[in-house]
Amino acid sequence: MSVEFTGMVPIILVTLVLLWQAVLVGYTFTLASGAADEGVRAAVGDSATSCRAAVLERLPGAWEDSLTVACEPGSDVFRTTVTLEAPALFPGFASLPIPVTATAGAAAEGE
């Protein structure tokens, strides 16, 4: 009985690590999307500087190291693109070479 358990422990641990990594990648997608939404809301109301500040405010500190923000004011639509890298095992340790990109847009309303 203990031999079977000992043989299964590595398989169970690897499965748990892979599931945890999938959760982190999914959470990174959620963070990127929310940050892009916040950035575009700020850009419509003010400027590209407030867009970047809103994105930074929305993200936890561990994800800020791999952050790339593009705030693009257009004539009809404001766009914000946020790119993050998913962390490996836990935030702040290392990043996977998997870029997670989210784009949000909002119509520029006339005055």
pLDDT confidence of residue 15: 95
pLDDT in tens, 24-70: 999 999 999 999 998 888 887 666 578 888 898 888 888 788 888 98
Question: Tokens in use for 109?
Answer: 């309303």
pLDDT confidence of residue 48: 59
pLDDT confidence of residue 34: 92
For residues 2-31, average pLDDT: 89
Domain chopping of the chain, boundaries:
2-107
For the chain, give the mean pLDDT.
85
Answer for the pair 51, 80: CB distance below 8 angstroms, yes or no.
Answer: yes
The confidence band for 110, taking pLDDT boundaries of 50, 70 and 90, is low
Q: In what order do the strands lie in the sheet with 68-72?
A: 68-72, 77-87, 95-107
pTM (2 decimals)? 0.81
